């Protein structure tokens, strides 16, 4: 049969808050731990279950209490513990004697004994402050209803009205009903009593409430180098110019970064004007897989960057660029898992997000920075102050990585990432690298973008550039399309598999191809096209076209007149003299028919015959 515990009671078991599911039966109690998401039921002896105690008096740290108050509480606690622990039964005489020694009444000491049995702490014996109890309201219930209604319907909305506007509406409703209107302080306290997460969720959305007020006590569990690499993109906070002689404004570049979670070393980087795409991710992965010596030499940077290798896991968001078939199959080819973080949960990529914030803070030191937002930029003219080109920014950015970020103490590691990488390499060995047939060109073929092209006599045409390699001679005239891979970072080279199966690097043979990226090459061609459409040049061309037509028309007319004059002159030379023809006598026109049958008896008079010329 049931004892003192009943269903629904709150209790403590092994220090955890529990709820009684079934009352006492046969000396046992069935309960459920409130903080256990599995909701497993436990059947425990009744003696192990305790009533919850009120420990609100312990909320203030003991070191913040007044020395005299703390000393008096300790003295009362020592007396109560001595009386509780004594072997002989407690009598009224003992209690009264102890109370006189403390300067208290026997009734107060007995309350101390009860309190110390519940909460064995001196702070539990400190008397509460006098005055109105906390939470007690002197506002009329009708006013409380008005305040609560307006707060729920007006204040807790996405329009986010100010406290002053809401207070004015509350006071207006109170005056209409003849009630005493509350002041702003009273309304502010009613708001503070509400759940802060519910208030933030109603006014700024559930996502803001989640990332501002929800507990997220997680941490990374990767212990080895390159066990997990996080990759993400960002738009750099700086405006750049083109690398040609015009140094035209192009805009803000995109930066793709890859970071090793364990050592916090940046293991891959890609910078271009192209928006986030599978190509940008592939080039960043390509930079991560290969040693950095050639890359640093290309940028003319003399600094150590030992971080490279094949990661076990690449962790990315759910962007479309991370779902490309080329990236997925390229990762499968090198034996790397590609994992996506939950949708709408950027905190799962917190390490790469924090790195991006750090590097963008460095970008704000450059001329032409766009700053964090419009308010921070103020009157700063980013376009007018811009001085750097893409190649110059790339060199500056990589220099910041290898000489500043890698060499400074990391807040979490308490050591520079470069030292952490070297230390872990000594303990665990270097990360796995691509071996066997995986040459640098093979890696290029696995991740670089490409297009199908026919090999012609003058080379392979890709992106308005001609490439050639002697190994392609065999394919001239076969009419088949072959897949050509190109590097968007440097248009001087293209990669394709030769007839023998080996990957070859074809060089650009188009005259005037400098060392520039594909985006800059396209921008340069667009700029040349724009210059060709200059209004002065257009006016010159249009005038030339009109003049050309005028010239043709004038020539045509002159030739026509010459032909007419020549024809007239020839006709005059061939016409007989007028004296050789008899003078004709004018006759009066007759109304009779021109030809009438002549009488047979009369002879017909014939005209005289003259000598003439025969015309062929």
Tell me what pLDDT residue 328 has. Answer: 83
Q: Does this chain's domain 141-213 share its CATH topology with 229-428?
A: no
Tell me what pLDDT residue 303 has. Answer: 93
pLDDT less than 70: residues of the chain: 1-3, 53-57, 130-135, 215-221, 344-347, 436-437, 573-616
Residue 274 near residue 519, CB atoms below 8 Å? yes
Tell me what pLDDT residue 597 has. Answer: 54
Tell me what pLDDT residue 86 has. Answer: 82
Query: 229-428 architecture in CATH?
Result: 2-Layer Sandwich (3.30)
The rounded distance, in Å, linking the Cα atoms of 509 and 611 is 83
Chain segment 335-373, per-residue pLDDT in tens: 888 888 877 666 677 889 899 999 998 888 889 888 877
* Beta strand ranges found along 34-84 (DSSP E): 41-45, 49-50
* Beta strand ranges found along 199-318 (DSSP E): 229-235, 240-241, 249-251, 254-260, 266-272, 313-316
Please choose, from the candidates 431, 436, 27, the residue with its C-alpha nearest in 3D space to the C-alpha of residue 260: 431
DSSP code string of 441-477? HHHHHHHS-EEEEE-BTTBEEETTEEEE-GGGGGGTT
Chain segment 471-508, per-residue pLDDT in tens: 888 888 788 888 888 877 778 888 888 777 777 888 88
Tell me what pLDDT residue 130 has. Answer: 66
Burial per residue of 436-475, b for 16 or more beta-carbon CB atoms within 10 angstroms, e otherwise: eebebbbbbbbbbbbeebebeeebbbbbebbbbbeebeeb
Residue 395 near residue 297, CB atoms below 8 Å? no
Please choose, from the candidates 110, 96, 5, 112, the residue with its C-alpha nearest in 3D space to the C-alpha of residue 51: 5
- pTM for the structure as a whole: 0.60
Q: Please name the residue that has the structure tokens 């006759």.
A: 587
Tell me what pLDDT residue 51 has. Answer: 77
Residue 414 near residue 263, CB atoms below 8 Å? no
Tell me what pLDDT residue 2 has. Answer: 41
Q: Which CA distances in Å does 282 have to 166, 172, 257, 320, 488?
A: 54, 63, 11, 13, 11
Question: Where do the structural domains in the chain lie, given as residue ranges?
Answer: 10-50, 67-125, 141-213, 229-428, 449-531
* Topology at the third CATH level for domain 141-213: Arc Repressor Mutant, subunit A (1.10.10)
Residues whose CB falls within 8 Å of the CB of residue 501, separated by 6 or more in sequence, listed in order: none
């Amino acid at each position: 049969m049931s004892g003192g515990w009943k269903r629904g009671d709150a209790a403590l078991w092994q220090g955890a808050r529990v709820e009684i599911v079934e009352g006492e039966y046969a000396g046992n109690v069935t309960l459920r731990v409130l903080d256990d998401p599995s909701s497993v039921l436990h059947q425990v002896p009744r003696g192990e279950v305790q009533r919850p105690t009120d420990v609100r008096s312990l909320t203030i740290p003991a070191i913040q209490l007044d020395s005299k108050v703390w000393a008096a509480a300790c003295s009362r606690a020592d007396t109560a513990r001595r009386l509780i622990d004594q072997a002989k039964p407690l009598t009224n005489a003992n209690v009264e004697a102890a109370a006189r020694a403390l300067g208290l009444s026997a009734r107060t000491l007995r309350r101390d004994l009860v309190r110390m049995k519940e909460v064995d702490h001196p702070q539990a014996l400190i008397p509460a402050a006098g005055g109105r109890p906390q939470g007690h309201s002197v506002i009329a219930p009708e006013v409380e209803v008005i305040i609560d209604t307006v707060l729920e319907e007006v204040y807790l909305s996405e329009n986010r009205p100010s406290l002053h506007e809401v207070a004015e509406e509350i006071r207006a409703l109170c005056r209409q009903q003849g009630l005493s209107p509350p002041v702003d302080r009273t309304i502010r306290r009613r708001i503070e009593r509400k759940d802060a997460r519910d208030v933030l969720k109603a006014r700024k959305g559930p996502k803001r409430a989640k990332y501002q007020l929800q507990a997220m006590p997680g941490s990374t569990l990767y212990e080895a180098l390159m066990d997990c690499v996080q990759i993400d993109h960002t738009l750099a906070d700086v405006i750049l110019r083109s690398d040609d002689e015009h140094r035209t404004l192009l805009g803000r570049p995109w930066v793709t970064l890859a970071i090793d979670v364990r050592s916090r070393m940046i293991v891959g980087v890609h910078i271009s004007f192209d928006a986030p795409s599978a190509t940008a991710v592939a080039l960043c992965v390509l930079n991560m897989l290969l040693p950095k010596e050639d890359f640093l030499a290309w940028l003319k940077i003399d600094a150590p960057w030992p971080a490279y290798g094949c990661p076990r896991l690449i962790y990315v968001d759910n962007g479309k660029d991370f779902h490309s078939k080329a990236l997925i199959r390229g990762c499968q080819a090198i034996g790397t898992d590609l994992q996506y973080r939950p949708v709408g949960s950027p905190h799962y990529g917190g390490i790469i997000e924090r790195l991006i914030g750090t590097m963008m803070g460095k970008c704000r030191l450059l001329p032409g920075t766009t700053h964090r937002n419009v308010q921070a930029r103020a009157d700063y003219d980013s376009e007018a102050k811009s001085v750097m080109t893409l190649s110059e920014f790339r060199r500056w950015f990589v220099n910041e990585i290898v000489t500043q970020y890698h060499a400074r103490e990391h807040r979490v590691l308490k050591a520079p990432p470069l030292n952490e990488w070297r230390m872990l390499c000594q303990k665990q060995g270097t990360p796995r690298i691509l071996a066997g047939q995986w040459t640098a060109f093979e890696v290029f073929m696995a991740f670089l973008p490409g297009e199908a092209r026919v090999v012609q006599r003058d080379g392979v045409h890709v992106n308005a550039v001609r490439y050639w390699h002697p190994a392609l001679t065999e394919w001239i005239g076969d009419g088949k399309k072959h897949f050509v891979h190109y590097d968007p970072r440097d248009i001087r080279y293209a990669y394709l598999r030769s007839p023998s199966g080996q990957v070859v690097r074809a060089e650009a043979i188009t005259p005037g191809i400098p060392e520039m990226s594909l985006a800059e090459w396209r921008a340069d061609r667009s700029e040349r096209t724009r210059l060709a459409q200059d209004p002065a040049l257009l006016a010159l061309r249009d005038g030339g076209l009109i003049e050309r037509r005028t010239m043709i028309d004038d020539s045509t007319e002159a030739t026509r007149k010459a032909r007419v004059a020549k024809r007239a002159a020839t006709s005059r030379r061939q016409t007989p003299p007028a004296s050789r023809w008899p003078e004709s006598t004018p006759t009066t026109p007759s109304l009779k028919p021109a030809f009438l049958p002549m009488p047979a008896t009369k002879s017909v008079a014939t005209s005289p015959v003259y000598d003439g010329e025969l015309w062929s």
